[in-house]
Amino acid sequence: MINGMIKKIFGAVGLTVGRKIAVDYKLWLYKKLYSEESIRKKRFYNIGAGAFYHPCWTNIDHLSRWYEMNIANTFKGIDYDLFSLESIPVESDAAEIIYTSHTIEHVNNEAVQNLFNESFRMLKKGGIIRIVTPDIDLSYRAYKENDRDFYYWIDWYSSDKDYKRVNIRQPLNKETTAQIFLEDFASQASEIPLHGSEKRLSDEEIKKLFEEKSFEEALDYCISFCRVDVQKQHPENHLNWFTEKKLRQMLEKAGFKIIYRSAYGQSHSPALRDLNFFDCTMPPVSMYMEAKK
């Protein structure tokens, strides 16, 4: 939930003057690498884009209640609900790039698989999808070692004003590391939010769960508490987890054969190396993956 708040409020609030200058400067790169038709038709798609803007790119996002106070009046793009499992209204074999950052952790496995399937359909031969999402291995290590500094957004939601704004029960600095870890990938199962599952997992239950089950089984048990109908009311929540292995399996199922781990600012696509626009959200806790059709 908290990372979702950060992404939508702070990570994608639109262009500063500096970014506008960067756009003008970087347009030559698109003209060098891509056809005039791809640039004119904006065949570069940011899924879960929020208030992102680039003149060559098309935003894809769902105008839910969450956007009423953010971008609903300014959104220009494709309104698409990932939970619908429908086809994305984009032509096949035409997209140059698909980018999705801190979005797939907000939807269930069925929606993520459909997103990857649709991305494979949409991309032209040689096209790239870049995926940025919280790295559950990093978060789990922080939980096991009680490394509260890893969850650096704790202080952001510890004043009376800020913790109430995000609908949690108390200042975040009063919560245990176990609950912060759980909330970061299965918000509804955590005791932190005022909304969520009727059954919440205690610190002792979390500890026992990860001792007795395999890592993936424990993670899946936690997200089993997360309901889609609640998530639609609170789309800022997280209800999924990802490792490199899980992402590879899902991308392979979608049809991708060239899949590789990336890193901050290290895309195979020159256009995606522009840090004025990409990889801006929560780099210290993120995992970066790419696949090529």
In this predicted model, what pLDDT tens digit does every residue of 181-217 receive, in sequence order? 999 999 999 999 999 999 999 999 999 999 999 999 9
State the pLDDT confidence band at 9, using cuts at 50, 70 and 90: very low
Give the pLDDT confidence score for residue 27 in this predicted structure. 87
Cβ-contact 86, 120 below 8 angstroms: no
Cβ-contact 222, 201 below 8 angstroms: yes
pLDDT tens for each residue of 134-157: 999 999 999 999 999 999 999 999
Q: Give 193's strand partners.
A: 168
Mean pLDDT of all residues belonging to the chain: 91
Nearest residue to 186 via CA among 200, 174, 171:
200
Angstrom distance (rounded) from CA 190 to CA 170: 13
What domains sit in the chain, N to C, each tagged with a CATH number? 2-134+242-292 (3.40.50.150), 136-233 (no CATH)
Q: Which helix (H) or strand (E) holds 98?
A: strand 95-101
Nearest residue to 143 via CA among 238, 225, 219, 239:
219
Average pLDDT over residues 159-185: 94
Cβ-contact 236, 4 below 8 angstroms: yes
Report the Cα 217 to chain-centroid distance in Å.
22
The CA-atom distances, in angstroms, between 149 and each of 171, 231, 255, 285 are 16, 27, 39, 11
Q: Give 47's strand partners.
A: 60
Angstrom distance (rounded) from CA 232 to CA 236: 9
Q: What is the pTM of this model?
A: 0.90
pLDDT tens for each residue of 33-68: 999 999 999 999 999 998 899 999 999 999 876 555
Angstrom distance (rounded) from CA 120 to CA 93: 8
**CA 240, 203, 233, 249: dihedral to nearest 10 degrees?**
10
